[in-house]
Structure 1
Amino acid sequence: MAIRIHTMSVDSEHRLVSIGVIASRLGVSVSWVRKLTDAGLLPSVRTTGGHRRYDPAEVDAAYRRHVVALPPLASGAGTTLYSARSPLAGLEEHVVWRDVMAVLPPSVEEAARGVIGYALTEMVNNAVDHSGGSVAEVVARQRDDVVEIEVRDDGIGVFEHLRVHLQLPDAESSVLELSKGKRTTDPAHHTGQGIFFTSRAVRLFRIEANGISWIVDNERGDQAVGESSVVAGTVVRFSVPLAGVRPMRDLFWEFADEEFEFARSRPSVRLAQTGDHFISRSEAKRLLEGLDRFSDVELDFAGVLEVGQGFADEVVRVWPSTHPRTRLTPMNMSPAVEFMMRRAG
């Protein structure tokens, strides 16, 4: 659907509003409204000066029609075990898990069932409590020796939701915050652990929303952020082998302290960068934001080629001096990164 461009009448001009008003009305950023408009999902007109204007009533209708409506799932390879589309109102994640568990093949070991159950219920709960949408779709497939789960909703999108509520500079920053753990927009009712542990428990984890894709490949020990065709809603996909899976309790213990509290984190430094190098102190501050919630933090420098003096000084000297209760441990450093970190110490 192309963007409508026409000359405004006098009557229509009186009810048209700016992109900023529409962003506030929908509870999203101006850049996100612009992206939806460019994708043809929100109708707009242009003034003689070339500025976009929106009819609030038309935008509301289009938002419900195009953003709220889920497109049909593309048929995937493998055997479909379960597929259901449900209203989010009244949807209970334990009921979804009960129905999915009933169709899993007998060859799925107990530990694998535990991982699938944890990941599925957490992702469905996120859709119910945080998406702001109206519909969710859950699909389970078996492909050879792997169970694949897909959870979709028609809401605002997980990255934009976090950007708005955590007041982040952009939606891409949401990926870094999710990788840290303990980041939630509703701390009174949620711990911010669901995506953190799910992304580490499964073989392959992929979450797409707001034109962004975050992939965690635990088999290869790698992760990446890129572009996505998903601009409306959130799509989460993850895969779990039928056998040989680490139990959830072992994963929980890896990030827990002696009192079984979620006290350790291992963010990927690469998720905070736009290239292969970190130069500025501000980049370090962005990386370290909120990590004082943990007692031990391992900073994973895998894939980072170099860091600048200001970045290294903030990580090694300045931030630890003001947060003495949190121990930072750099890991997987290249020789150039290790040199700068040692020099800063």
Structure 2
Amino acid sequence: MRERTTEIRNYMLTACRDRSLNVAAETARHFKISRQAASRHLHALEEAGLVRSEGAKNVKKSTLIPLKQTSWTFLLAGLKEDVVWLESIAPLIADLPGNVREMWQYGATEMINNALDHSEGLNLSIYFSRNAIDCELTITDDGEGIFHRIQRLTGLYDARESILELAKGKLTTDPQNHSGEGIFFTSRAFDSFVIISRNLYFTHRAEKDDWLIDIDSDTPGTSIYLRLSNTCPRTMKEIYDEYAEPDEYAFNKTRVPVKLARYEEEKLVSRSQAKRLVSRFEKFSTVILDFEDVEEIGQAFADEIFRVFASNHPEVKLITAHATDAVNKMILRALAVR
């Protein structure tokens, strides 16, 4: 009975975070319990100070109450990411499991260091919030903006290409001092990872793949948002191992969302699009091409990847995932020519 109660209330807490409206009714439907029983569970969470509910009975909004909430502002000049971690952030999560603290240490210090070394800004703002099920951290600098900086320093045609390059991994504008792994592994470790910079918004969630959108805002600087469950079972070792070949320790495997190679609703048909996609693939021994949300591709696009690139780089193993029948037909056509 206690396990059932815990399951129901954890579901409610997640629903309060993600949807918030009529949580009791939704919980009753999900667990096939009475509305009255679900309401009692919600009331217990309210009494415990974990949830706040407002509104009429039929349109009730329930939200999580922050248990800890604080913010800091730092001058970037002379700032040390390990000191920020040890003195400001770590004490707020000292009671969480070791694997969760390890991921927070990795993500927070990597993202703060990224602002220190690359933003060319003056100030850094950090906001922390913790509720009953997870913690959130937002790190904001007032620098040039990550996507436009990458575009400028690497000569990309469009700032949106920066997002595709970050999704591949091993991208850095300072190869002597950085490996280009920080953003990649941070985005894979956390339940939710978001970068907002200028007019672009990029997100990676543990249960979904990368995607980007254009937004109306054009605010200078970069904001990075991290969210992680307080009981997350993952470890950093598991994240590292996922992108390393068996019996190897190097970051030599990546997963690339093919849809990031297109702008808005354009079709993936040209060789130039394919060349943009396969750029830097030679840095990896295995590349998983994820075709989710890509219904079809053109002959030239497929040929450039699966014949031209594959022939020029036989050391790189190309693996496809979530490919439709139409996509597979074009790939097979390209392979038949080899």
Cα distance in 1, alignment partners of residues 239 and 169 from structure 2: 14
Q: Distance in 2 between matches of 1:177 and 1:245?
A: 29
| Contact kept? 1:81, 1:104, Cα under 8 Å | no
Shift of 1:114: 1.1
AA matched with 2:250? E
Q: How far is 1:82 from its partner?
A: 3.4
Quick one: distance in 1 between partners of 2:67 and 2:157? 42
Contact 1:297 1:328 in 2 (8 A): yes
Aligned position for 1:227: 214
Q: Look up the match of 1:13.
A: none
CA contact (8 A) 1:276 1:305 kept: no
- Maintained 8 Å contact 2:121/2:144: yes
1:26-66 CA-partner distances (Å, limit 9, x unpaired): xxxxxxxxxxxxxxxxxxxxxxxxxxxxxxxxxxxxxxxxx
Structure 1 position 316, deviation (Å): 1.0
1:272 counterpart residue number: 261
Give the superposed CA RMSD.
Answer: 1.5
| Native 8 Å contact 1:159 1:209 kept in 2 | yes
The amino acid of 1:216's aligned partner reads: H
Residue 143 of structure 2 aligns with which residue? Answer: 155
Q: 1:77 to 1:138 in 2, by over 3 A?
A: farther
1:262 to 233, 243, 251: 251
Q: Give the conservation status (yes or no) of the 8 Å contact 1:276–1:306.
A: no
1:9-37 deviation per Cα after TM superposition (whole angstroms, max 9, x unaligned): xxxxxxxxxxxxxxxxxxxxxxxxxxxxx
- 1:312 corresponds in structure 2 to 302
8 A contact 1:141–1:147 mirrored in 2: yes
Asked if 2 retains the 8 angstrom alpha-carbon contact of 1:211 and 1:230, the reply is yes
Shift of 1:315: 1.3
- Are the equivalent residues in 2 in contact too, given 1:123–1:151 (CA < 8 A)? yes
CA distance in 2, matches of 1:338, 1:307: 9
Equivalent in the alignment of 2:112: 124
In structure 2, the residue corresponding to 1:103 is in which secondary structure?
helix
8 A contact 1:263–1:295 mirrored in 2: yes
Give the helix-richer structure, 1 or 2: 2
TM-score by length of structure 1 reads 0.75
Could you state the TM-score of these two structures normalised by the residue count of structure 2? 0.77
Measured after TM superposition, the shift of residue 80 of structure 1 is: 4.1
Q: Could you tell me whether the CA contact under 8 Å between 2:94 and 2:101 is conserved in 1?
A: no
Structure-to-structure mapping, 1:182-221, within 5 angstroms: 182-219=170-207, 221=208
Partner secondary structure for residue 227 of structure 1: strand
Quote the sequence identity (%).
37
**Gap regions ≥5 residues in structure 2:** 1-63
> What corresponds to 2:329 in structure 1?
339
Aligned to 1:295: 285
Cα distance between partner residues in 2 of 1:339 and 1:94: 51
Which residue among 306, 315, 324 is the counterpart of 1:325?
315
Give distance in 2, aligned partners of 1:277 and 1:331. Answer: 19
